Amino acid sequence: MPHDDRWWNRFALISIVAGVIVRVVAVVLHPPLNYDYSDIHGYVTRAMRLADGVHLNRFDTFFPPGTHILLALPFKIFGTGRTGLWAASVLWVLLSSAVPLLAWRFALRVMSPKAAAVTAALCAFWPIYIAYGGYFMSEIPSVVALLATLCLAFRVRDETGTRRIFFAAATGVVAGASLAIRPQLGLNVAIAAVTMFGVRRSARAAAAAVVGLAIPLAAVLALNFSAAHTFVGLSENGGLNFFQGHCPVHDVRTSKAAVGELDFASPVVVQENRGRDYDFPGHIAWEQSFFFRQGLDCIRSDGIGHVVVLARNVADLGITSVPWPPSTDPGLHRFVKPANLVFSWTLPSIIVLAIAYASGRRKEVRRAATGAGWADRPGLLVAHLLCVFPTAIVFYGDPRFRVPYDVFGLGLAAMLAVAVLDRRRTTGLPDADAGVPYSLSGEDA
């Protein structure tokens, strides 16, 4: 390994350790167990019911169960009192600390060690990731599960024989867990499947991956079936989300005899104070077909003008609001708001520049695909990053939905910055390859 690469690897490790320290301090100042309200309260109470073996109810199937299953583990071991809540807080710190480490391991597969180290540092000190480590929400677990899936997918490409089958099964299990936490990650899992096998297809490894994927998904579907006493899939909030994204909704109130009243509002529309209140007596939130019909009626009513609604939904991924729940905390708000705005406003330029950069790196990509060495692969990062937009277009936009994808934007920013700086450093050298920022395994690019 070149000396320069070793230095950058050390820089990455130092950044990761520093990120852990920052997160430990953050959880002492902002312990998740002290913030039990709204969606957070829902995750905690569902996890406690699951840990106590209390009979589950229909609302336990409304949100994807991956997060409250994860939370139930420390509650099962340490109880559902304050000790269990502190254990869950420690678990969230560990998950948050794993983000820069996994981001670094993934980045080493798609960019230079220098750019990968910068990516690790950005993730280690990214205010949004640090802030979400202080809440029992699905954002941090989804980032960890997604990055772990991608890292394992690359490992499958490296292995042969029995070890390849083992890692394919492990990739499937972790991918299934990521879908149980956030079903929207399905497109990223599909890209990971392509990455996993590439040109070295193997029926046995593919079968192992499918079996691995089926294990957590079957468990989740069975859990939801036991709560709803009917097949409901991974969650039942798709219809309501569709309605909220395509109609001028501020607040939705549903009520039904023997069930009660349920109220919902997107943090984005609350912050923007837009839309109007809807009241649906006789209907309940998980009646997906009813709410899909309501959303389709709004689309038909808008006609071509609905394009404006779709554009607004995309904008709601970042620039129109501050990520919730950090938006409600004055201390976190002052760090999260500028980070979110800078990231959201610069992201379109980063994507365009990355695509342009990718067009000039095709030779390196081909060599990396055949095992000749690493190469910058911005196209892969762009592909994963673009997977967030269908969520905003089909349902609605919210910075929370974008959080798992921030790692790809940060990686692209690091890759482009390093490429520009290296190109400037080598400009004017007589070597014919001076314009190429990196070499592959010591060979000319």
pLDDT of residue 199: 55
Q: Rounded distance, CA 20 to CA 137, Å? A: 19
Per domain, the residue ranges of the chain are: 3-231+323-426, 238-285+287-296
**Mean pLDDT in consecutive groups of 10 residues from the start of the chain, 445 residues:** 83 98 95 93 95 87 96 96 96 97 96 96 98 96 98 92 94 97 96 81 89 97 93 94 97 90 94 95 94 97 96 96 95 95 95 84 48 65 96 96 97 93 67 39 35
pLDDT of residue 444: 36
pTM of the model: 0.91
Q: Where are the alpha helices (DSSP H) in 387-436?
A: 389-394, 399-402, 406-426
Burial class (CB in 10 A: 0-12, 13-18, 19+), 271: middle
Give the contacts of 94 (CB within 8 A, at least 6 positions apart): none
pLDDT of residue 442: 36
Neighbours of 428 (CB within 10 A): 7
Q: CA distances (Å), 109 to each of 89, 125, 209, in order?
A: 31, 21, 21
Q: Rounded distance, CA 144 to CA 95, Å? A: 7
pLDDT of residue 1: 61
End-to-end Cα, the chain, rounded Å: 17
pLDDT of residue 4: 84
Q: What are phi and psi of 227, to 5 degrees?
A: -80, -40
